[in-house]
Amino acid sequence: MNSAPAAEHEIESYLTRLRTSLRGLPAEQVEDIVREIRSHLRESAGTDRERLTEALARLGDPATLGSAYRMDDLALRAQSSRSPLLLLRLVMHWATRSLEGLGALVVAFLGYGTALIALGCALFKPFMPDRVGLWVQRVPPDDWSFQLGRVATAPADAREVLGWYIVPLGLLVGAIALTATSRYLLAKVRKFRSARSASGVGVRDDW
Amino acid sequence: MASCDTSQSEVSYITMSQRSSDSLAVERWEVQARKGVLELVVLAALWSGRLYGLELIRRLEGDAQLTVPEGTLYPLLNRMRAEGQVDAEWVEAEAGHPRKYYRLTPEGRRRVVQMARFWRGFAASIDAVLQPVLAERRK
């Protein structure tokens, strides 16, 4: 008889931890998920502590369960908006758990970094024409030094080689780097999502 | 004597590690195969009517001897709802606690039909390829 409040307490403490790990999702969605898991636990265990322990074990760590919901939500939003920021957030999260994710993060930084620099050059050139460009300088005996971007002062005895071509070129390179990186990451996200579900279907009493 | 022991234990160590890396590879492959059919199994279970999560789990265990871990099922159902393959509605149960029922949307129905058709053909082809493998083992 007195196991009922204890079981109820255990359920609520699990749900509190689940709610914490769902932070970031819309409030109504959080409540909906919590309500569903509460209903599941109450019905599968009733007031039986042993069955409750088993049911909780099958649901797994609330932090893991919550992060499954959050990742799905993030992936869905990233896929529909194609926003580089959302994609970057997702890949950063993924990088913390797999080597492949870390690889994707490196590509993301390189790709988006290139896009940022190229677009930045194109956008800043009209406002500071003397300080944005690509400078090439000969370093004796047979080396070259390159400097691209916005500089405080144009390097002495270096030749600026792009001139105003940096505007269309920067826009082009930036756009290509931006879309190519996003497409690569979206493909990764799809793969990541299909692989993410922790475990698949099993056969009872196993094969 | 001592050297004999060492070589024996080395041999058994090698066969053991060989075996465990084999079974590990098979296990990894099994996990992939199980994940692949998860969506099909869940959509197919909803074919003849609405079910709530626990009912779905019990249905799969009872009728098909299939287990789906709850920690995987609930996020999957949530994702399928977001993608429009299933609809969800809360229903007050006579027992006093509300249940969240899922049903297939027309899109979900189309999808599961396509998946089932593919699976039939695929399974038949795999069976044909497996026949010599399994026949060999019986001998």
Q: List, for residues B61-119, the tens digit of each pLDDT value.
A: 888 788 888 998 999 999 999 989 999 999 987 767 799 999 999 999 999 999 999 99
Reported pTM: 0.74
Average pLDDT of the segment spanning A92-121: 90
Model confidence at A196: pLDDT above 60: no
Nearest to B53 among A40, A195, A201 (CB): A40
Give A157-184 pLDDT, tens digit per residue. 788 888 889 999 999 999 999 999 999 9
Interface test with A, best of B26, B27, B35 (most A CBs within 10 A): B35
Burial B21-48 (b: 16+ CB within 10 A, else e): eeeeeeeeeeeeebbeebbbbbbbbbee
Out of A42, A195, A197, name the one closest to residue B72 (CB). Answer: A197
